[in-house]
Structures are given as C-alpha cells and as structure tokens.
C-alpha cells in the first residue's frame, strides 16, 4: 500500500503523538493543569481531542493509500496486508497491557485471566480494519450514509434502549448499555481502574469507526479539489459545520470520550478538519515548515514512539531505587530530583512530561536522519 505523503499530515500526526506523550506522562497525577486532563465524564477538554485526532488521521491515510483501489473490490494480497497490519497493531496493544502486569505475575494464569483486552491501539486496529474494508468495497456516498446511520443508531441505542438488569437507558459510567455489553462479553478483561466498564469498550467502537470514516471522506474531498485555496476553505467550512452540528447534538447527547458519543464524533472531527486545513495551508502551500520539523520526526515514526513511550513509562514506574521506607520508583526519584524539589508542583509535573518529549525528539531526529522508519 503506497501512500501519497503530505508533509502537513505527517506533522499533524506528529503533533498528536507528542500531545499524547505530554498528557499521559505528568511527573505526578496529583499535579496536573486542568486542560491536560480528560473530562471526568461528560465534557471535552483539549486532552479529549487527541484520540479522535488519531482515528481521523487513520481515515485520511486510508484514503491516500488506497484511493486508486477504492470501490473496485478487494484483491486477496491487499486484503491480507490489511488484516496483517490490523492484527499487528492489535497485538502491540495487548503486549503493552501485558507489560503493565507486575514482573512476578506476567506469566501467572490468574493474572492473565484478567488482562485488559480493549485499549487505544486495539481500537485503532479495529477502526483501521473496518474503515479500510469499507473504503475498498463501497462508494463515498454509501460511506457517508453509513457514517450517518452509525451515529444515529448509536444515539438511539444509548438513549432509548433499556439496559438489561438496570432499567431505563442511561449515560452513567456503570449503567449504560456499552458498559453492560462489555461486562457480558469481556468479563474481567476490562480497564483495571473501573473493572465494570471500559473507555475503549466494544459498543463505543462503532462511533469510533464513524470518526475514521469522516477522516476518509475528508481525505476524498481534499483529493477531489485541486486548488489549494479551495481545499483549505472547504475543510474549514466542513469542519465548522461538523462543530456546530456536534454542539447542537450535545444538548441532548453530551460530549463524552469514554462513551464516544455521536456529538463528540462530529465536534472532534470538525476540529480535526480545521487543524489539518491550517497545517496544509501553512506547510504544504505557503512553505512555512521550519517550525514543524520536530513534529515531522514524531509523525513518520508514530507507532514506534507510541509504543516506546508507553514501555519507557511503565519501566521507570516499576524499577525501584533506595532502601527501606525511602524506596521509591525510578520515575518518582527522577521527578523529585530533577524538578519537584525546586519548582511548584504543576510546573514540575509539566516539565517532566516535556523532558520525555525532548528525549524522544532526540531519538526520532536521529532515526529520521538515518532514514529509519518503522512501520507495521
């Protein structure tokens, strides 16, 4: 699958990955600025934009890599590549979940029986698989209709269908239809911080596929328009339409990342369109790209840095230093020694996360200069 590379898309992807590292790795979770936290339940903070940006970019990339084959059916070699890539991404996610287990329990059958199955990479793999198959087997008009149907059907399921064993439809964490389905089908394999529901659950993957489909449709619109000014204007206008529609829908179906509500899909996809339009105009059209070089390094090796940053964080968190009551994780030791001992809490916590971004910048810059691009 050859991809028509856009510098702006790589930068957009890289910015999103860097933002993910920033919000996932504060020095202390007790010292975090509010915009760098997810909304507690209903709502949408800047942090809640990161994951849908990933899925929107997945959709754009599917269009750019498969645009010469769309609507023509699926050849077996191409089908095999799609399934292989999806499987690798899914297994990487399972591997990261396995690595979070305590060292002494990583091969313990009882602990493996509760290993989390859903996750960020797992959802990305499923969205990629479904969107790629739809792109190859359906027209853009049918894709648009399917996206609308998914969002409307999901709204109906969560707001009108009674929840077995609970009663009336609910949008609360443990009593919504998606949480019930996750407990029914996944049992103990859910997010350890809740154990009764999962933010990347099964039912909410349906509207997440809608996010990917909107990315595909935006990519198609981009390719159909030939003039840079037209591309930028239509992305901004379409994005504005999605934002307004999402805001109106949120009056009855609130923004919610964990539920991946339909209003949240439209709102975040609209913002993603406008961010991509701005990157395209500045970088690909106007040539104002010097500032974006660090994000380019992140963007071309996005999967590598996603996995590597997670593994590094877990490793620093499980390695211990000191003796007796002074024993602490290497993560906390470095945080205290480098920043917390002399800076205000939230500033120290933010700078520690920025240090990780800077560390990976050095690694990714070297990889880019050596033309080392790790793909799946």
Q: What is the pLDDT of residues 302-350, one digit of tens each?
A: 999 999 999 999 999 988 887 767 789 999 999 999 999 999 999 999 9
pLDDT at 2: 41
DSSP run (H or E) holding 117: none
Please write the tens of the pLDDT for every residue from 344-362: 999 999 999 999 999 999 9
Alpha-helical runs (H) found in the chain: 7-24, 50-66, 76-99, 109-112, 120-137, 140-160, 177-186, 205-224, 228-249, 262-279, 293-300, 302-318, 330-335, 345-369
In degrees and rounded to multiples of 5, residue 174 shows phi and psi of: -95, -10
What CA–CA distance (Å, rounded) separates 371 from 178? 43
Confidence of residue 370 (pLDDT cuts 50, 70, 90): very high
Confidence category of residue 1, pLDDT binned at 50, 70, 90: very low
Give the HSE-up count for residue 62: Cα atoms under 13 Å, Cβ half-sphere. Answer: 35
Whole-number pLDDT of residue 187? 86
CA of 75: how far to CAs of 34, 71, 136, 267, 278, in Å? 48, 11, 9, 35, 36
Q: Residue 59, Cα to own-chain centre: how many angstroms?
A: 12
Q: Check if the beta carbon of residue 361 is closer than 8 Å to that of residue 350.
A: no
| pLDDT reading at 30 higher than 90 | yes
Range name among 104-118, 241-255, 315-329, 342-356 with the lowest pLDDT average: 104-118
State the Cα–Cα distance between residues 71 and 38, nearest whole angstrom: 38
pLDDT of residue 72: 60
- Say if residue 161's pLDDT is above 50: yes
Report whether 208 contacts 123 (CB < 8 A).
yes
- Indicate the range of 73-87, 101-115, 196-210 predicted with least confidence: 101-115
Give the span between the Cα atoms of 111 and 127, in whole angstroms. 28
Mean pLDDT, all residues of the chain? 93
Q: Which helix (H) or strand (E) holds 321?
A: strand 320-321
What's residue 75's pLDDT? 80
The pLDDT value given to residue 70: 61
Whole-angstrom distance, CA of residue 214 vs CA of residue 252:
22
Phi, psi of 133, rounded to the nearest 5 degrees: -65, -40
Give the model's pLDDT for residue 62: 96
- The domain spans of the chain are 1-37+290-376, 42-287
Residue 234: exposed, middle, or buried by beta-carbon count in 10 A (0-12, 13-18, 19+)?
middle
In this prediction, residue 107 carries a pLDDT of 74
- Checking if the pLDDT of 4 tops 70, the result is no
The whole-number average pLDDT for the span 78-106 is 89
What was the pLDDT predicted at 73?
Answer: 63
Instruction: Calculate the CA dihedral of residues 228, 230, 236, 237 and round it to 10 degrees.
Output: -170
Q: pLDDT band for position 208 (50/70/90)?
A: very high
Which pLDDT does position 267 carry in this prediction?
98
């Amino acid at each position: 699958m050859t991809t028509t590379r856009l510098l702006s898309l790589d930068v957009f992807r890289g910015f999103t990955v860097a933002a993910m590292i920033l919000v996932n790795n504060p020095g202390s979770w007790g010292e975090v600025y509010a915009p760098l936290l997810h909304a507690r339940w209903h709502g949408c903070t800047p942090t809640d934009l990161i994951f849908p940006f990933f899925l929107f970019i997945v959709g754009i990339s599917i269009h750019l890599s498969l645009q010469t084959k769309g609507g023509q059916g699926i050849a077996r070699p191409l089908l095999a590549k799609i399934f292989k890539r999806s499987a690798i991404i899914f297994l990487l996610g399972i591997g990261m979940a396995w690595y979070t287990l305590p060292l002494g329990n990583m091969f313990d059958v009882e602990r493996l029986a509760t290993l989390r199955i859903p996750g960020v990479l797992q959802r990305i793999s499923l969205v990629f698989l479904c969107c790629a198959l739809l792109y190859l087997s359906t027209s853009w008009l049918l894709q648009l209709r399917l996206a609308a149907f998914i969002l409307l059907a999901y709204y109906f399921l969560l707001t009108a269908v009674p929840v077995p064993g609970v009663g009336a439809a609910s949008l609360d964490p443990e009593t919504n239809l998606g949480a019930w389905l996750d407990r029914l089908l996944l049992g103990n394999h859910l997010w350890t911080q809740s154990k009764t529901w999962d933010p990347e659950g099964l039912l909410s993957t349906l509207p997440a596929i809608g996010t990917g489909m909107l990315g595909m449709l935006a990519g198609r619109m981009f390719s159909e328009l030939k003039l840079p000014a037209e591309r930028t204007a239509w992305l901004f206008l379409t994005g504005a339409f999605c934002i307004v529609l999402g805001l109106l829908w949120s009056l009855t179906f609130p923004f919610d990342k964990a539920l991946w509500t339909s209003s949240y899909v439209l709102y975040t996809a609209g913002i993603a369109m406008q961010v991509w339009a701005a990157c395209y105009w500045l970088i690909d059209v106007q040539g104002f790209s010097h500032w974006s070089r660090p994000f380019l390094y992140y963007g071309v090796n996005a999967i590598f840095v996603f996995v590597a940053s997670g593994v590094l964080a877990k490793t620093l968190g499980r390695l211990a230093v000191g003796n007796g009551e002074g024993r602490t994780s290497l993560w906390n030791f470095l945080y205290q020694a480098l920043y917390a001992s002399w800076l205000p809490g939230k500033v120290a916590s933010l700078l520690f996360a920025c240090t990780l971004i800077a560390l990976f910048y050095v690694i990714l810059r070297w990889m880019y200069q050596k033309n080392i691009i790790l793909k799946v």
